[in-house]
Amino acid sequence: MRSLLERLFLPAFANQWLDARHDSAVMRIGAERIAFTTDTYVVSPLFFPGGDIGKLAVFGTVNDLAMAGARPLYLSAGFILEEGLPLAMLEIIVASMREAAAAAGVELVTGDTKVVDRGKGDAVFINTAGIGAAADVEISPRRVQPGDVIILSGDVGRHGIAIMSVRKGLSFETALESDCAPLWQPVSALLQKGVDVHCMRDLTRGGLASALNEIALDAGVAIAIDESAVAVCEPVAAACELLGLDPLYVANEGRFVAFVTAEHADRALDVLSGCTVSAQPRVIGTVGARGDAIVEALGALGNPRILDLLSGEQLPRIC
């Protein structure tokens, strides 16, 4: 996907906003700084423990706005419906989107529906775009500096494993749900408390390892993390072992990393601890020198491994 972006889309449309390579484009319109983003949701199955495609389509886009330091305000939604989709199923998805929009404090203000022939879609695909009011401070990969501290907002892997549990018919002793949640509240708290946040990224497809690789590449820095500081709950760890997955690459829908100055790391931990969706934040690593964009993880025994950008998709149709 990244090479498709590099070779096709980015050169075709090159501009300062796209070149920032962030979760949202932030542009000035009159006196206002506006964040704008879009994402398409093809998750399979449509319903999974802790969420469904509708909830994901709202929170995913809201979170891409939040990662640029923008308060989510308005969404659009485009639905691609396969002929024969039961109306009752669509009603449940729409009700879920309405609830998610209310929880995230956004209004769905415009939309579209298209129907495709039976067999030419897969029940329902949803595209959402979002607009938010951006803070008057740049939060993007190009602000990442050597010495920045990397804070992870919670444990990893819940969303991907919740999806896989349905696909593979796994059951767990303790209930495992997707972490799917809106992230504006902790972001807003960080900004209000004056934490100098250089960059943030939500850990969606490709998980923590992919997010760190993207930022290392776009900021042109080395990143080192302490793998033992990355929390993985018991059912996720067990399922990853069973399925041969690396939890650092498994998708999340309610977790993010924040790159903050070393002086502000304690304050950031304090602020995040006070928010339900980021109640167990941890410092997981630091930004090293400029130059080689490399992400290194130190294991519990101190043996380092390189976290590569995966060439294939580890888990297709996870969001």
**To the nearest whole angstrom, how small is the minimum distance from the Cβ of residue 140 to Mg ion?**
12
Query: Which string of DSSP letters, residue by residue, matches 190-241?
Result: HHHTT--EEEEEE--TTHHHHHHHHHHHHHTEEEEEEGGGS---HHHHHHHH
| Residue type, position 179, single letter | D
Q: How far apart are the C-alpha atoms of 101 and 59, rounded to whole Å?
A: 8
Judged by CB under 5 A, the residue of 52, 155, 196, 202 near Mg ion is 202
Residue 39 in the binding site for Mg ion (CB under 5 A): no
Q: How far are the Cα atoms of 5, 50, 104, 119 from residue 194, in angstroms, in the given order?
A: 34, 33, 22, 52
| Residue type, position 303, single letter | N
Q: At what angle do helices 53-66 and 87-104 cross, to 10 degrees?
A: 30
3-class SS of residue 36: strand
Taking CB under 5 A as the rule, which mask of x and - marks residues 50-69 in contact with Mg ion?
A: --------------x-----
Residue nearest to Mg ion according to CB distances in the complex: 23
Question: Interface with Mg ion by CB under 5 A: which range of 17-25, 155-163, 181-189, 301-309?
Answer: 17-25
Question: Interface with Mg ion by CB under 5 A: which range of 51-59, 194-202, 293-301, 306-314?
Answer: 194-202
Residue (37 or 96) nearer to Mg ion, CB: 37
The answer to whether 184 and 62 have CB atoms below 8 angstroms apart is yes
Judged by CB under 5 A, the residue of 23, 148, 179, 196 near Mg ion is 23
Residue (196 or 202) nearer to Mg ion, CB: 202
**To the nearest whole angstrom, how small is the minimum distance from the Cβ of residue 67 to Mg ion?**
6
**To the nearest whole angstrom, how small is the minimum distance from the Cβ of residue 5 to Mg ion?**
14
**Would you state the torsion angle of the CA atoms of residues 97, 102, 103, 105, taken in this order, to the nearest 10 degrees?**
120
Question: Interface with Mg ion by CB under 5 A: which range of 105-113, 197-205, 215-223, 298-306?
Answer: 197-205
Chain residues in the site for Mg ion (CB under 5 A): 23, 64, 202
